[in-house]
Amino acid sequence: MSTTATVFEVRGMTCGGCAKRIRTAIETDLGDGASVVVDHKSGRVTVTSAGEFTPDAVRAAVERTGYEFAGTAE
């Protein structure tokens, strides 16, 4: 089974607490098998999952926590 990693940009994070809120929200929404790494300094969120997920699912989790989802990182 292959895994897919996608990097997203999120604006408005200022600390580790921000990163934790976002990580928890995404992991909750995507369920088991999803790994989320959030770097508040770079504004990058890396989501790795063996299952499929959509950017819209990540966007919903990010926006629910009060941060700005800026799309897939280049």
DSSP string of 34-47, one letter each residue: EEEEEETTTTEEEE
pLDDT at residue number 44: 97
Q: How many whole angstroms separate alpha carbon 55 and alpha carbon 63?
A: 12
Pick from 49, 50, 39: nearest CA to 8 = 39
Q: How many domains does the chain have?
A: 1
pLDDT at 2: 63
Q: Containing domain of residue 36, as a range?
A: 4-64
In a domain, 42, yes or no: yes
At residue 1, does pLDDT exceed 80? no
Q: In the prediction, which pLDDT does 50 show? A: 81
DSSP conformation class of 6:
E
Q: Give me the long-range contacts of 37-42 (CB less than 8 A, separation at least 24).
A: 38/10, 38/13, 40/13, 40/14, 40/15, 40/16
Residue 47 falls inside a structural domain: yes
- What pLDDT digit, counting tens, does each position of 27-74 carry? 999 988 899 999 999 999 999 988 888 999 999 999 999 999 999 987
pLDDT, residue 12, reads 97
Query: Is 69 within a domain?
Result: no
